[in-house]
Amino acid sequence: MIALIQFELKKLLLKPRTWLSLCLLVLLVALIFWGMKAQGQEAVAYLLQALQANFVIEGSILNAYLVVYLILNTLWIHVPVLVVIVTGDLFSSELENGTIRLLMTRPVKRYQLVLAKQLTAVAFVVLFLMVWMLVTIAPGFRLFGGGDLVVLFNGLQIIEEQTLPLRFLGAFAFALLGMSALAVFSVTVSFFTRRSLVTILITLGVIVVSTLLQTLAPTIFPGWDNFLITYHLAQWQLFFYSQPDYGEILWSVGCLSGFIALAVVVSVIRFQRLKITE
C-alpha cells in the first residue's frame, strides 16, 4: 500500500497541472499583495469610514494579519478551482489514457487503488496549503508588519495580536480539512464521469450551487445550511470572532469529516463495480 501511494505521489508531481496550480496560487497571492500595498490603505479607510464617527482609530489597521485574512477569503472561489483542476484528474486521466488497465494487471486490490488516489488528493492539498502559508505569512509580515486584527464580519471584530497566531493556525487547519473534502469529492466524482473535464465542471458546479443556496438559505431555504459543503467550509471565519463559537466549529469539523468518509466509501463501492475495459 505504501509503495502504491508513493507511486501515485510521483505521478502527481510529474503532472504539469500540479505545478501550474501552485504557480497560479503564487501569482494570486502576489497580486493581492501588490494591490494591498498600492491601494490597501485607501481601501481599508473606505470600508471603515462609517465607524470613524463612533470610534477613534489610531495607527494602521492594514497589517499582515489583515492581508492573510483577506487571502483566506479566496477559499470561496479561487482556491477550490486550483485544487479541483488537479485532484479531478487523478483517476479520470487513468481511464482516458487506458493506463488503469495496465495498473490493474499488478497485484493491487481495487480498494487499495481508491485509497491511494484519495490519499494522494489529500497530500496535494497539504502541499498546496504549505505553499500557500509559505508565500503569505513571511512576505506578509515583511511588507505590512504585525498588529491587531480588525475585521467587519457579523459586526466589528477586534482581536489582539497575541492571540492571532493560534487563531490563524486553527483557520489553516480547518482550511486543510475543507479543501480535503473538496479534493476527495472531486476524485469520487471522477469514478462516475470517467472524464477529467466533466469531473472538474461537476465539482465546481456543486460548489457554485452550494454557495448560491447558502446565500438564499436564511430567507428561502431555512435549515439547509448544514447540508451545504460551502457553509461548513466557511466556518473558518468563526476563528476570528472576538468570542469564537468552538461548538459550531467542532460541528462543522464533524460534518466535513463525515462527508470525506462517505465520499471514500462511495468511491470504493463504485470502483468495485466499474468495468475498466469499457
Residue 178's nearest CA partner among 120, 133, 131, 233 is 233
C-alpha 71: how far from its chain's center? 12
The angle, 0 to 180 degrees and rounded to 10, between the axes of the packed helices 110-144 and 246-273 is 140
DSSP string, 211-260: HHHHHHTTTTSTT-GGG-HHHHHGGGGGGGSSS--HHHHHHHHHHHHHHH
* pTM recorded for the entire structure: 0.87
Per-residue pLDDT tens for 187-232? 999 888 878 888 889 998 988 888 888 777 666 666 677 788 888 8
Per-residue pLDDT tens for 37-88? 877 677 666 556 555 555 555 556 778 888 888 888 876 667 888 899 999 8
